[in-house]
Amino acid sequence: MSDNDTKKPTGDAQTPPKGAPTDTPAAKIGPEPSNPPAGAKMDSPPAAHSGPTGTPPPKPAAPAGGPPPKPQPKNPGFVTAVIDGKEVVVKPGTNMIEAAKTVGSEIPYYCYHPRLSIAANCRICLIEASNAPKLVPACQTPMAEGQVIKTTTPKVKEQQRAVMEFLLLNHPVDCSICDQAGECKLQDYYMKYNYKPSRLEGSKALKHKRKVLGPRVVLDQERCIICTRCVRFMNEVPKEPQLGVFGRGSHERIDVFPGNELDSNYSLNTVDVCPVGALLSRDFRFKARAWFLSATPSVCTGCSRGCNISADWMSQDTYRYRPRENEAINKSWMCDQGRLSYKDLNVGRVLTARVGRGLQAPGTVQPAVGRKDATAGAAKALKPLVGSKQLAVLASPLASNEDLLAGLTFAKKVLGVTSVFVGGRPQGKADHYLMTADKNPNRQGLALIAKGLGLSLKGFEELTPAINAGQVKALYAVGTEVPTDAAAFAEVVAKLEVFVAQAQNDSPVTAQATVLLPAAAHIEDEGTFTQQDGITQRFRKAYPPKGDAAPHWKWAAELTRELGGEAAHASARDVWRALSGQVSEFAEFNWDKASPPDREKPGINPLPSGADGRPPGYREFGAPRVRGI
């Protein structure tokens, strides 16, 4: 395992001002004020002079035309100002955009991002400030004591309209085929701040329409507004400067440096930060309209980092993962490998139960088996082996804590095992920022649960010799992911007399199962993962399980009842409430309060609203009827 596996990302790209607090993104941006507030301290105080005998010396008078005395802070340690007639109290170093959000005033912006350095080149955030003779960029200017800011005056509105007109002069306006439609700030701001026809006479400047920057990103240079967010992101966050600004004037463009390509493992974050439809994911391009997608807060299962994500889905298909903000784990970013790991949710799924090995004679069809019959078949096969040393259990660290609590409790109390073999994905490569070498999202949770239940964990490498030696003749698997070649392990498990497997995806291993039970993916149920640093995180359910699939905990409960035990779990929440008390590390985790909101915070990556008026996340109720709405 790489040393980077245990390092948390540092996250923010810009150094905060000297003396400024750093516990919020708003406090980490902007330089020191370039325009001193009214009443700046004079270089030297005026000289005192004596009055007549017996009378106190008169107070020094301010020089004619000099600045008034500096006002004392109304709230010591904070900056107190007025925005659109409302008093605001913020921490020193907070810029005007973030301060305005606290009182409900919206200042439009394109180039500004709270985790990137300040460029101040789009100019749409110019507003009026009492201590400046001209309009000032709200993204670049920190708040000053006693400042009065106005964001809705005719002068500001005309500036916003003029900037929008300038940005749209050479824009192709191909919204009907643009993937960003529905999430585009050009569309939003045009309707709010401009809404007027173009006055351009003549043809627009033409640029490269489909510039492939790398294996995962394509650029439409005509749509680009040169906000430079992508350039700053690559320079400052992954620290891989692969993009630059080339040309001058109307022919200025974003591009890769000659002879290079955008092949960073964080290249798709440039698509997220792009406020228009210039940078596009080659994987998601032309796949779905944003307003048809619902978004569910979840956790990435690509590695043990546990990046927070929003899973965008329609019907019972997941279309993309997007990073969701979490200051302690992934800030606002995620790696490309984790972002593309959603594909296993859509293809190669185990959707029906099966009794009997899957390798049938040519021309024969495996008969379909209902869930009740499959449960009865699995219980019948396992019952003679209860308490036997020839029965082993394989647990996957891809399963949620709720799945493992129910599955391992069944293994210990009903099957009578005392040890568990650990499966999961093989180790991979780590990188310098977020991605870890351990490709399993819940290895830490598996270790904590096994410890709490009094089960010992054995390495996967011990299982194959035990099967080959005849010490293990039956295997119950909660997940069939293995850290070795699946085809080679399939030849080993073919020697087993009983192999009951709960599996999410088809593989050579599942083909050898004597009873195969289809397992739901994490996106099809709610639950928790415990990432590598011991942080337990909740994720929500997006859509119902496909086919006859059911969560691992539900199969374990049904098998428990079939074998004469008691299991009254009706939901993942019930499993947590009933069984998590055995794990001391879970004692302080509040399952209900830790649930992420079903909608993102206003002003932070706002989700598109549904075409029919329903908010994202509420467009599908129950089993979806057909693809789409």
Q: What's the CATH number where 242 sits? A: 3.30.70.20
Q: What does the pLDDT look like over 187-223, one tens digit per residue?
A: 889 888 888 888 888 888 899 999 999 999 999 999 9
Do the domain assignments include residue 574? yes
Q: Which residue has the higher pLDDT, 412 or 41?
A: 412
Is the Cβ–Cβ distance between 139 and 145 less than 8 Å?
no
Residues 273 and 375 in one domain: no
Dist. CA 415–CA 423, nearest whole Å: 19
Do the domain assignments include residue 323? yes
Q: What's the CATH number where 319 sits? A: 3.30.200.210
Average pLDDT, the chain: 85
Of 99, 100, 80, 101, the C-alpha closest to 144 is 80
Dist. CA 162–CA 411, nearest whole Å: 69
What's the total number of domains in the chain?
Answer: 4
Residues 439 and 327 in one domain: no
Do the domain assignments include residue 3? no
Instruction: Work out the pLDDT band at 615, boundaries 50, 70, 90.
Output: very low
From the number of C-beta atoms within 10 Å of its C-beta (0-12, 13-18, 19+), residue 318 rates as buried
Q: Tokens for 272?
A: 């997220």
Residues 298 and 374 in one domain: no
Residue 606 reports pLDDT greater than 90: no
Residue 183 reports pLDDT greater than 90: no
Residues 565 and 428 in one domain: yes
Is the Cβ–Cβ distance between 422 and 459 less than 8 Å?
yes
Of 337, 180, 331, the C-alpha closest to 264 is 337
Q: What does the pLDDT look like over 360-392, one tens digit per residue?
A: 555 555 666 889 999 999 999 999 999 899 999
Residues 84 and 230 in one domain: no
Do the domain assignments include residue 629? no
Q: Tokens for 430?
A: 């780590």
Give the torsion through C-alpha atoms of 494, 499, 500, 505, to 10 deg: -20
* Percent of the chain with pLDDT strictly greater than 70: 82
Residues 521 and 437 in one domain: yes
Do the domain assignments include residue 36? no
pTM: 0.82
At how many degrees (to 10) do helices 443-453 and 401-413 cross? Answer: 30
Residue 58 reports pLDDT greater than 80: no
Residues 529 and 445 in one domain: yes
**189: part of which helix (H) or strand (E)?**
helix 185-189
Residues 420 and 487 in one domain: yes
Residue that terminates a domain, selected from 163, 182, 212: 163
Residues 201 and 153 in one domain: no
Dist. CA 566–CA 569, nearest whole Å: 9
Q: What are phi and psi of 301, to 5 degrees?
A: -105, 15
Buried b (16+ CB within 10 A) or exposed e, 492-509: bbeebebbbbbbbbbbbb
Q: What's the CATH number where 149 sits? A: 3.10.20.740
**Within 10 A of 146 (CB to CB), how many other CB atoms are there?**
18
Residue 203 confidence (pLDDT): 86
Residue 243 confidence (pLDDT): 96
Q: What does the pLDDT look like over 322-338, one tens digit per residue?
A: 999 999 999 999 999 99
Dist. CA 117–CA 12, nearest whole Å: 9
Residue 37 reports pLDDT greater than 70: no
Q: Is the dihedral of CA 277, 281, 287, 292 positive or negative?
A: negative
Residues 408 and 427 in one domain: yes
Q: Is the dihedral of CA 438, 444, 446, 447 positive or negative?
A: positive
Q: What are phi and psi of 451, to 5 degrees?
A: -65, -45
Is the Cβ–Cβ distance between 52 and 64 less than 8 Å?
no
Distance between first and last Cα of the chain = 45
Q: What does the pLDDT look like over 425-435, one tens digit per residue?
A: 999 999 999 99
Please give the residue range of the domain that contains residue 122.
Answer: 80-163
CA-to-CA dists, residue 327 to 11, 39, 100, 411, angstroms: 8, 38, 22, 37
**475: part of which helix (H) or strand (E)?**
strand 474-478
Question: Which segment of 74-78, 233-237, 412-416, 606-610 scores lowest on mean pLDDT?
Answer: 606-610
Residue that terminates a domain, selected from 163, 198, 231: 163
Give the torsion through C-alpha atoms of 495, 499, 501, 507, to 10 deg: 20
Residue 300 confidence (pLDDT): 96
Q: What's the CATH number where 529 sits? A: 3.40.50.740
Do the domain assignments include residue 607? no
Residue 51 reports pLDDT greater than 70: no
Residue 604 confidence (pLDDT): 37
Q: What does the pLDDT look like over 472-515, one tens digit per residue?
A: 999 999 999 999 999 999 999 999 999 999 999 999 999 999 99
Residues 227 and 252 in one domain: yes
Do the domain assignments include residue 12? no
Is the Cβ–Cβ distance between 342 and 299 less than 8 Å?
no
Which alpha helices (H) appear in 460-551, and where do they start and end?
Answer: 463-468, 486-493
Do the domain assignments include residue 34? no
Residue 141 reports pLDDT greater than 90: yes
| Strand 136-137 with 211-212, pairing | unpaired
Q: What does the pLDDT look like over 142-176, one tens digit per residue?
A: 999 999 999 999 999 999 999 999 999 999 989 98
Dist. CA 598–CA 611, nearest whole Å: 19
CA-to-CA dists, residue 140 to 113, 121, 135, 137, 523, angstroms: 11, 10, 12, 6, 40
Q: Which residue has the higher pLDDT, 36 or 527?
A: 527
| Strand 515-518 with 498-503, pairing | parallel
Residues 265 and 310 in one domain: no
